[in-house]
Amino acid sequence: MKRIPGAALALLSLILIATPSWAADQNRLGADGLHVGEALFCAAVTDRMPEGQAESFATGARVYCWTRVLDGGAGDVIYPVWFHDGREIQSVELAVEAGHWRTWSYKTLFPGQQGVWRVEIQNALGELLGSYEFSATE
C-alpha cells in the first residue's frame, strides 16, 4: 500500500471539508433561502439603523420600511410593495448584496392618505417574504 505524503493528505482533507460547504451555498438561494429576519417602520434611518420606530405616523411624514434580510447574496433582490387601503401605490427594487443585509425604502404620506398602510416584502419570483402594517393619521 502506498502512503500519501503529509502535504497531499492535508490538501485532500481541505478539499473534502470545503466541498460540502460550497455545495450548500449553491443550493441556499431560491424559494426557501432568502428571508426577512426583521422589518419595521420608522421616521429615519441613520448609519443603516432605524430611528423613531412607530406603528402610526401623521400625514406629511416620511415613513421608512427598514428591512433586515438574511441568507441572501450578491445578485438577489427584494421588492417592498406599498399598499394604501388595499391598493398598490408603489414597488421598489432593492439589491441584496450579502447574507445579512439591511436595506430600506420610504414613502411620503400625503394629505388624504390616512388609513391602513401595508408593505409586502417579495422576492424576485413575487413570493411573499413578509407583510407589515402601520396606520396614517391626519
Average pLDDT, the chain: 83
**Predicted pLDDT of residue 18:** 36
Among 8-12, 61-65, 102-106, 129-133, the minimum mean pLDDT is found in 8-12
CB-count exposure of residue 103 (10 Å: 0-12, 13-18, 19+): buried
Share of the chain above pLDDT 70, in %: 77
The sheet that has 100-108: what strands, in order across it? 35-42, 62-70, 100-108
Residues 80-105, mean pLDDT to the nearest whole number: 96
Three-state secondary structure call for residue 27: helix
- From 70, 78, 61, 35, select the one nearest 117 (Cα to Cα): 61
CB-count exposure of residue 77 (10 Å: 0-12, 13-18, 19+): middle
Share of the chain above pLDDT 90, in %: 73
**Predicted pLDDT of residue 5:** 59
Residues 62-86, mean pLDDT to the nearest whole number: 96
113 band by pLDDT with thresholds 50, 70 and 90: very high
Q: Which residues contact 90 (CB under 8 A, 6 or more apart)?
A: 81, 82, 107
Amino acid making up residue 95: A
pLDDT in tens, 6-64: 554 443 343 333 333 222 232 233 455 899 999 999 999 999 999 999 999 999 999 99
Cα separation, 101 vs 5, whole angstroms: 43
Cα separation, 68 vs 38, whole angstroms: 5
Residue with the bigger pLDDT between 4 and 120: it is: 120
**Predicted pLDDT of residue 32:** 53
Residues 103-113, mean pLDDT to the nearest whole number: 97
